[in-house]
Structure 1
Amino acid sequence: MDSCPVEEGMALAIPPLRQSEKFHLFVSYSSVDAAWTHRLISRLEAAHAGLKVCLHQRDFTPGRNVMENMADCIHQSQKVLLVLSQDFVQSRWCLLEANLSLFGYCLERKPVIPVLLRPCQVPLHLSHLTYLEATDRHFYSKVVQVLCTPNQRMARFLPGPRPVPSLYSGKTLLTLNCINRDNLPSWKVGTFSTLGVPDPLKEVLEDPEVYKQAVGILNGVRSPRSCLRYLGCRLTLGIFLILLSLTSAFLIVVCGFQNDKPRSIFLVTTVSVCVSLLLLVLAVNSLCWFRRFSKRKMRELVLKVGEANLLLAPHSVLMGCDTKNKVYFVYVLLEDCRQAFLQAPEGEALFQEVLLRFSSTYACCLVHSDFPLCEDATGAQGHLEVGLCFCQFVSLQLKRPGGFGVNPV
């Protein structure tokens, strides 16, 4: 692929910065690719005196929101270089495309230079661009040529129109599986690792303690210690109770018929039927214990996820779960929905309550793009371009019978 827009014989000089620019190049990359990226930048800065490259760990303003920092630095840079790999697509690009309403204006007016470090699925918004391959033996010289090319001569490196609305708020950032998911018994609640923040969340959750506390809340749900968690125990107990009920009924009826008094026969028959029914109910309950336990544990797990979302929501992240061994993280802007709740009496307390009870189910709806249907909601103005926003979703849940009950799945 032709990656060099520079004519032969052109002097390789870095274009001077304009008054509104602070950097010649803004570089975005995954932490997995940090070593390779730093080597490239060090070589460029050593070879070109005065070259100003923006790297997030050294040039972002401390204390500011990550996305505001990124938008400002892109706006103040001549060009944008993206180090593409699967790790990048699943982490940093997720963040960029999660809020293209903020970055779109900058990216549509800045030349974007995709560098294919490792094979990956190139994001839709960049798929038509000319990209540089890191395995090309002329790669470095091509990077230098692109840097030395004035922006007005780089039309082929400009991104196309803003992509479809599904790339905005509501983006799935991560599906997190529990530890030893493949070996996890069906009755056991999964345990999730808190050793480090996964890459797709690092760009949103700057404080790793927020992630650790949120996942720690989830890990607080304990698995049962009853022997009934084993299928063999439930079957054995169920069969024993059924046989006991049949035996008791048979013995009592036989003993009753040995008595010639009708009143005694009626009394013995009634007692035998009641005892037999009681034992049968206990047998069925024993056999159905796992189903009842699963529903109870899922309700407990959903409430714990809601509790974790109280920590995550200020960072525009929600967690959701529909099984005991997997959770989802989605990026969703909730401030407009929060303002809608604040218009009600005790609005902040109401918003916290609905986050606790409905945020997990809502996150799962975002992940699966499967929302409840309701004519009232489809006609109302929401805060999400595709699907129901959080306040619309809560409104539907509250209209159902027992609206403030937890609906985990």
Structure 2
Amino acid sequence: MDPGPEEEGGALAIPPLRPGEKFHVFVSYSSRDAAWTHALIGRLEADLPGLRVCLHERDFVPGRNILENMAECIQQSQKVLLLLSQDFVQSRWCLLEADLSLFGYCLERKAVIPVLLKPCRVPLHLSHLTYLEATDSRFYPKVLRLLCQATLCGARSVPALRPAASLYSGKTLLTLNCINKDSLSSWQVGTFSTLSVPDPLKEVLEEPEVYRRALGVLNGAQSPRSCLRYLGCRVPLGIFLILVSLALLSFTLVLGLQRSPPAQRFLLLSGAVFFCPLALVLAVNTLCWFQRFSRRKMRELALRAGEANLLLAPHSVLVGCDTMNKLHFVYVLLEECRQVFLECAEGEALFREAMLRFSSSYACCVAHAYFPASEDVQGAQGHLQLGLCFCQFVSLQLKRHQGLGVYPV
């Protein structure tokens, strides 16, 4: 049995509520941990008369959005008590991460008391905080002391906060190189490992199978089997075709100067007009094979990255490729952009098409922190604090392609 407040050196008193505050503590927990939570709250209210606790099932306004209720209740509370368990991380925490600005305000202005109720992966936003363990024999007295400390002192009782949120929409998570980069030829497409989810992605992508399927789509791109992939074949063949075109032209001119029937002369000139340019075009295409292959393969990889992003987007992750041997993973919240597409007719199909065609290049822009400038999007409300959000980026790309009279493949 944990010692009561009297055994901790005298009766503890809760700090008075200040203007604009209705609760001393806002408690966030999973419904599966409700029995343990209600027992703890009942004991706290018995030991601390006058303690006002905000619980969602009794204090949230019916009919309002749950995020709006959470935002208002957190702002009206002195402290925030988070009861962490795997169920909490998979349910309640996703609501907090759905509005990072809300939780950023919470960390900056409120005293956060994280409690590890059951073993779980501590969320990324709390990895820098020291949490209490429910199995600690001194757990209850520690909670009492934190609740009874003044708000500012309580805020400092938790370790110093980071100056910026460790996870935010538009953050670069990882740049992944292919496993055969050192032995990769210029014409080969890189292969990416699917054995395990890289550590920087584990906090937001907890399902290894999703990662394997997404990387499997990208690994499906095949390197060419043509002999033209070798420079030693392209250069001699290109030179040979150029010589053939010159020889045909010279041979035609020589025969054309000789006296010959008009019909024969016409056939010679027709052959020269057809075969000489043909050989010259084949020679140029042979010498420029690698450049054409690279453009074609990058378009294929971009489409494959779009298919992979359809799997990753529900986890707020996008992947982009701007080379054949490197991938960029970024954390982007797309729900608000998706709602913009859904307002149009066949919005779901439009969003899927936009993901296939533009999500790879958008992820690369986010990773490089460089977006194409345009007056078309200036002043438009975006869903990304810095740079263009996805729906703005798609709008800009469509306008550019329409201005050029072409559409992206």
TM-score (ref. length: structure 1):
0.65
Deviation at 1:346, TM superposition (A): 1.1
Q: 1:382 to 1:257 in 2, by over 3 A?
A: same
Deviation at 1:263, TM superposition (A): 6.7
Q: Is the 8 A contact 1:111 1:159 kept in 2?
A: no
Q: Which amino acid aligns with 2:90?
A: R
Q: 1:278 to 1:304 in 2, by over 3 A?
A: same
Q: Which amino acid aligns with 2:94?
A: E
Q: Which amino acid aligns with 1:170?
A: G
Task: Measure the CA separation in 1 of the matches of 2:204 and 2:332.
Answer: 11
Q: Is the 8 A contact 1:319 1:363 kept in 2?
A: yes
Listed one character per residue, the Cα deviations across residues 220-269 of structure 1 (whole Å, up to 9, x for unaligned) are 11110000011111001001111222222223332333325577556534
Task: Measure the CA separation in 2 of the matches of 1:249 and 1:350.
Answer: 53
Report the RMSD for the aligned CA atoms in angstroms.
3.9
Task: Measure the CA separation in 2 of the matches of 1:60 and 1:365.
Answer: 34
Unaligned runs of 5+ in 2: 1-7, 15-23, 30-81, 115-123, 131-141
Task: Measure the CA separation in 1 of the matches of 2:377 and 2:280.
Answer: 47
Task: Measure the CA separation in 1 of the matches of 2:292 and 2:209.
Answer: 35
How many corresponding residue pairs?
A: 311
Equivalence for 2:247: 247
Q: Is the 8 A contact 1:217 1:304 kept in 2?
A: yes
Q: Is the 8 A contact 1:340 1:391 kept in 2?
A: yes
Q: 1:199 to 1:147 in 2, by over 3 A?
A: farther
Task: Measure the CA separation in 2 of the matches of 1:365 and 1:184.
Answer: 25
Equivalence for 1:232: 232
Task: Measure the CA separation in 1 of the matches of 2:265 and 2:216.
Answer: 62
2:408 equivalent among 403, 406, 409: 406
Give the stretch that moved more between structures: 181-190 or 266-275.
266-275
Listed one character per residue, the Cα deviations across residues 64-120 of structure 1 (whole Å, up to 9, x for unaligned) are 248438x6xxxxxxxxxxxxxxxxxxxxxxxx9x9742532443334799xxxxxxx
Equivalence for 1:61: 87
Unaligned runs of 5+ in 1: 1-10, 24-53, 72-95, 114-122, 132-145
Q: 1:66 to 1:156 in 2, by over 3 A?
A: closer
TM-score (ref. length: structure 2):
0.65
Q: 1:66 to 1:245 in 2, by over 3 A?
A: farther
Deviation at 1:399, TM superposition (A): 1.3
Q: 1:55 to 1:188 in 2, by over 3 A?
A: farther
Is residue 2:355 matched to residue 1:358? Answer: no
Equivalence for 1:163: 164
Equivalence for 2:55: none
Return the index of the structure with the highest Cα Rg: 2
Q: 1:388 to 1:368 in 2, by over 3 A?
A: same
Task: Measure the CA separation in 1 of the matches of 2:305 and 2:234.
Answer: 30
Aligned-pair identity (%)? 58
Equivalence for 2:200: 200
Task: Measure the CA separation in 2 of the matches of 1:22 and 1:378.
Answer: 39
Q: 1:158 to 1:303 in 2, by over 3 A?
A: same
Q: Is the 8 A contact 1:303 1:357 kept in 2?
A: yes
| Secondary structure, counterpart of 2:182 in structure 1 | helix
Q: Is the 8 A contact 1:357 1:404 kept in 2?
A: no
Task: Measure the CA separation in 2 of the matches of 1:223 and 1:208.
Answer: 26
1:5-404 pair list within 5 angstroms: 59-61=85-87, 64-65=90-91, 67-68=93-94, 100-108=100-108, 109-110=110-111, 153=153, 155=156, 159=160, 163=164, 168-259=168-259, 264-265=264-265, 268-402=268-402
